[in-house]
Amino acid sequence: MRPDRFLLLGILGLFLGGLPACAQAPVVPLVLAGGTIVDVTDWGRSAKDQPDSIVIVQNGHITDVGSRAIIPIPKGARVIDCTGKYIVPGLVDGFAGMSSQGEANADLYMGVTTVVASSDSRRGHIDSNANPTPHLYLIDSVGTTDDWSLLIGQSGWAAKLRESARPAELSPEDTLHQLNDTVKLGTRVLWIGHEVTAANTQWIIAHAHLMGLITYGEFVSTPYRVGVEAGVDALLRMGRYELGVIPDELQRPLVDDPDGPAATTAYDYSERLPATDSHVRSYADFVASHRSALMPMFATYFQRLPDHRNLWKEPASALLDSAHMFDPPDRKTGEMVYPLPGWSRRLPGMGQRYIEEGLRKKADQSAMRLWRINQVLFASYPHYLAASGSPVSGSFTGTSLHVELEMLVRLGLTPREALAAATNNYALQFNWNELGLIAPGRRADILVVDADPTVSAWNVRRISTLILDGNLLDRDALLSLKK
């Protein structure tokens, strides 16, 4: 009987051992009850908000959305009363650095739940160990040598990407290998930069789209009309995409001189062309009639434009280290700092201040000329995507995405359209249908705000509840950075 007894005990042990796995407590649903779901569909042109709503979250995703009169609250659910409040998707920053836990916390504190993260000489390396962190969608350069590429650590690429003192265009064969290898790292976005010429730009965009990759264009050697006609997904940065207005005789030298005197001449022409010139309007109409969206990163010019404030006074800015910011503003004044030429050190203080004021005035005038051109571009109504560009040229992680929304409204978008530029426009433009909406199946990155964000973009920052991947985050605790 002894063998039978052991057999029975073994079967009983397996049964009892299996009970915890089979009898695990079900995941408790999270319910947002009574708030108004803000409609950000159709590029922010729709306004079918849902008052007195129910949003049910389970396993990191939104499962049910609808009227409280129709959607029952699951038994045992954790319920957050959102009566009188507004429910919006977590914000997307379409181009930024993410090099520290402080930057991750600053983004989350300001409701930025997804970042298209860049490793480069001005933003540093991406900190993939930060926790908590927004969702990181990796961006990599393509078509050129670049020692900040995500591939630089791979033995097959290290020498190739460092083989020239300055970025140089790769052959189509090397570019194809680069595409295939960066995709294996999880790269979502390809940056097509200054040295890539027209034929390679067209080839990269076509192949990237076949591979399900998004393309960002910050062209110099490639004419903007070529990149736009090829279907580049987004044009980056005020101060860059205005090169689309230059004539052919200024464009041709850029193939051999994308960062030298020829480029200086081209930038100067594009900036100083009167906003009323017919070429500006023609270019605006051209961009608006194609699929490329504009990603201006106005936030990197904020301190050079009128009506700015000291962003160091924002709560999230306390999480940032100015030593890891490229060209940060002065802490006391919030104004940009303009390094003086070496010879000016021999001048008395009054002379140095005069030179510094002259540099500031020149920078402010340059920003205003570019802003006026962008007002003309906006009049043709292209599609916009919000990005901070942080932490570069006076922009601040987290805070500056809200600055970008303010600037988009100043340009002429409605607050709802600006909010869409940081949420569902990314789903529409890039087919990133996991984010951007309060809708079943979308990722549960959610903000509950205390005031109507369609009345003022400022209200988007009035966050009372922050949800990332279906998990409630203690927003105030994010300001206490653990060393």
The per-residue pLDDT for range 406-461, each reduced to its tens digit, is 999 999 999 999 999 999 999 999 999 999 999 999 999 999 999 999 999 999 99
How large is the average pLDDT for residues 200-222? 97
Count up the domains in the chain and report the number.
Answer: 1
Closest to 271 (Cα-Cα) out of 366, 394, 159: 366
Q: Are 96 and 75 in contact (CB under 8 A)?
A: no
> What residue ranges in 25-129 does DSSP mark as E strands?
30-33, 36-37, 53-58, 61-67, 78-81, 86-89, 91-96, 112-117
The most distant pair of C-alpha atoms in the chain lies apart, rounded to whole Å, by 105
DSSP string for 441-480: TSB--EEEESS-TTT-GGGGG-EEEEEETTEEE-TGGGGS
Q: Does 441 fall in a domain?
A: no
Calculate the CA 10 to chain-centre distance.
57
Average pLDDT, stretch 196-209?
Answer: 97
With respect to residue 123, please indicate whether it lies within any of the assigned structural domains.
yes
Residue 80 lies in a domain: no
pLDDT at position 1: 36
Phi and psi torsions of 473, nearest 5°: -105, 140
Average pLDDT over residues 451-473: 98
Beta strands in 155-195 (DSSP E): 189-192
In a domain, 99, yes or no: yes
pLDDT recorded at residue 319: 97
Q: Which two tokens stand for residue 340?
A: 């003086």
Instruction: Summarize pLDDT for 241-288 with one digit per residue, the tens.
Output: 999 999 999 999 999 999 999 999 999 999 999 999 999 999 999 999
Domain that holds residue 305: 90-335+362-432
Q: Is the pLDDT of residue 333 over 60?
A: yes
How confident is residue 6, by pLDDT bands cut at 50, 70 and 90?
Answer: very low
Pull the structure tokens for residue 280.
């500006």
Between 16-20, 54-58, 131-135, 374-378, the lowest mean confidence (pLDDT) is in 16-20
In-domain check, residue 234? yes
| Per-residue pLDDT tens over the stretch 110-157 | 999 999 999 999 999 999 999 999 999 999 999 999 999 999 999 889
Q: What does the pLDDT read at residue 165?
A: 79
Closest CA to 400 of 324, 315, 302, 476: 302
Cβ-Cβ contacts under 8 Å for 366 (sequence gap 6 or more): 271, 304
Q: How confident is the model at residue 11 (pLDDT cuts 50, 70, 90)?
A: very low
pLDDT at 17 over 60: no
Coil, helix or strand for 94?
Answer: strand
| Confidence (pLDDT) at 429 | 98
Residue 8 banded pLDDT, cuts 50, 70, 90: very low
In the predicted structure, residue 95 carries a pLDDT above the cut 90: yes
Q: Is 195 within a domain?
A: yes
Higher pLDDT, 353 or 210: 210
CATH code at position 404: 3.20.20.140
| Cα–Cα distance measured from residue 395 to residue 106, given in angstroms and rounded to the nearest whole number | 13
Q: Report whether pLDDT(14) > 70.
A: no
Residue 356, pLDDT score? 84
Please give the mean pLDDT across all residues of the chain.
Answer: 93
d(CA 123, CA 96): 8
pLDDT above 80 for 23: no
What is the pLDDT, as a whole number, of residue 432? 98
Bridge-partner residues for 79, per DSSP? 31
